[in-house]
Amino acid sequence: MRSVLISGASIAGPATAYWLQRAGFTVTVVERAPAVRGGGYPIDVRGTAVEVVRRMGLLPELLKVQTDSRHLTFLGPDGGTVAVLDPHAVAGSVAGRDLEVRRGDLAAGLYGLVRDQVEFRFGDAVETVVQTGTGAEVTFMSGQRRTFDLVVGADGMHSQTRHRSFGPEEHFHRYLGYCFALFTVPNTYGMHRELTMWNAPGQAAALYAVGERRDELQAFLTFHQPQMPTGALRDRKAQRDLVERAFAGAGWEVPVLLTALRGADDLFFDTAAQIRMPHWSRGRVVLVGDAAYAPSFLTGQGTSLALVGAYLLAYALDAEPDIDRALVDYEHRMRPFVTANQALVNNGAATLFPVTEKALHQRNARLQKLISMPTPAPRPAHSAVQLPDFGVRA
């Protein structure tokens, strides 16, 4: 029974843990947070990733808690309605097949599948990893030392596992020119199962009524920022100040949202960016999910890549006893899927957030045409990989 340490207990980590323990590995998951993190903002499970959660037996549970958004309203700079659309028409997803759920609901579901089968170390983190050639000696922040056959970094776009074993984040970080802030606000607008998005050149503000919740909304502010605000990434006051400057003088409900932002205790701020790496493994350390190939929120595919990557990594390790060859196989199977989905940002995935008045006018014209058009076909990138049958060597 080979032993694996997984750093990160959000989506990619527990998903990888599920498939590895099913294959007979001894799995430990370490997470700096004191418990599985909740969070109400919606995430998408599309295409091949839906098949992954079906094979996990999680699909019925997710179907019960899907957000089931009924319509998406676009507003212009003056607050007037530009278009009201089916959300699937905009996202390129398939009604009745693809899912949108709260991130916290998916995280809780994944944790529930494995909490009794694998060891979880909450409130701890990896401090050092020393590779021995046949494994990795790990020292935890708590002071404990243990040896594992493999270390999996599933700790997100700002992965410390990646920094420790592959180098600084700036070597792999591709900034896409936008910043965003997510936080919760009271639902004083009577919204239910819907999303309203206001746009001005270089600015967007959205209110999202997620699922059955009627008392709160997810607020979303995104803005064009030509230079990456490196100094604000770990400074909460600098983040709030940056957002307020970016939206100074903005219309619609933005002043109300900025007031709420100042007092929000669940603010999540980050940049629209991708992680692009030539290789995802080095010795006995391998990366999965955003740590290896974050596609950015502009694609809506981060969760799906994490779920598929977890499956293919575990499949490769189960099918090939030699860990080095298994990691090569994982990358061989996963790389085309990652490439196709990261390319979505070059194929119009950022058009919801136009930077100029001309681009905004053109986008609004396209949205109005969608009103009378049938729902577009699903994007090929969402299903651009075949899942091998787990336990069958190929």
pLDDT at 271 over 80: yes
Query: For the residues 209-232, what does the mean pLDDT come to?
Result: 91
Query: Is residue 378 a contact partner of residue 92, using CB atoms and an 8 Å limit?
Result: yes
C-alpha torsion angle, residues 350, 10, 154, 325 (rounded to 10): -100
Mind listing the pLDDT tens digit for each residue in 83-141? 999 888 787 777 778 999 999 999 999 999 999 999 999 999 999 999 998 899 999 99
- Rg (Cα) of the chain, in Å, rounded? 21
- Distance CA(159)–CA(349), nearest Å, equals 24
Model confidence at 9, pLDDT cuts 50, 70, 90, reads very high
In residues, how long is the chain? 394
| Of 39 and 357, more confident | 357
CA 346-45-155 angle, 5° bins: 80
* Contact criterion met (CB below 8 Å) for 93 and 378: yes
Euclidean distance between CA atoms 135 and 138, whole angstroms: 10
Taking only the tens place, the pLDDT of each residue in 285-305 is: 999 999 999 999 999 999 999
pTM (whole model) above 0.85? yes
Question: Would you place residue 307 in the very low, low, confident or very high pLDDT band (cuts 50, 70, 90)?
Answer: very high
User: Cα–Cα–Cα angle for 224, 228, 231, nearest 5°?
Assistant: 125
Chain-centre distance for alpha carbon 95: 20
Closest CA to 45 of 3, 107, 128, 136: 107
pLDDT tens per residue, range 200-212? 999 999 999 988 8
